[in-house]
Structure 1
Amino acid sequence: MANLINLKTFTDARGNLTVIEKVIPFDIKRVFYIYGVDNSVRGHHRHKKTIQSAIAIQGECQIHSQSGEDLPIEIFSLNSPSKCLIINREDYHWMDNFSKDCILMVFASEYFDANDYIYEPYKKISR
Structure 2
Amino acid sequence: MNSKLIKIPKIEDTRGNLSVIENDLIPFEIKRVYYLYDVPAGAERGGHAHKEQKEFLVALSGSFDVILNDGQSEKVIALNKPYEGLLINEGIWRELKNFSSGSVCLVLASEVFEEDDYIRDFEEFLTSKN
TM over 0.5: yes
Give the percent of matched residue pairs that are identical in Structure 1 and Structure 2. Answer: 36
Equivalent residue in structure 1 for 2:66, among 63, 66, 69: 63
Unaligned runs of at least 5 residues, structure 2: none
Unaligned runs of at least 5 residues, structure 1: none
Q: CA RMSD in A?
A: 1.4
What residue number does 1:93 align with?
94
Q: How does 1:105-116 map to 2 (within 5 A)?
A: 105-116=106-117
Q: CA deviation at 1:123?
A: 4.1
State the TM-score, normalizing by the size of structure 1: 0.91
Equivalent residue in structure 1 for 2:37, among 35, 38, 45: 35
**Which of structure 1's runs of 4+ aligned residues deviate more than 6 A?**
none
Larger helix proportion, structure 1 or 2? 2
Larger strand proportion, structure 1 or 2? 1
For 2:96 and 2:87, the matched residues in 1 are separated by: 14
Q: How many residues align?
A: 122
Q: What's the CA shift string for 1:49-102, capped at 9, x where partnerless?
A: 1100000111111101012x32x2111111010010001111100000001110
State the TM-score, normalizing by the size of structure 2: 0.89
For 1:4 and 1:73, the matched residues in 2 are separated by: 16
Q: How does 1:1-127 map to 2 (within 5 A)?
A: 1-21=2-22, 22-38=24-40, 39-67=42-70, 69-70=71-72, 72-121=73-122, 122-123=125-126
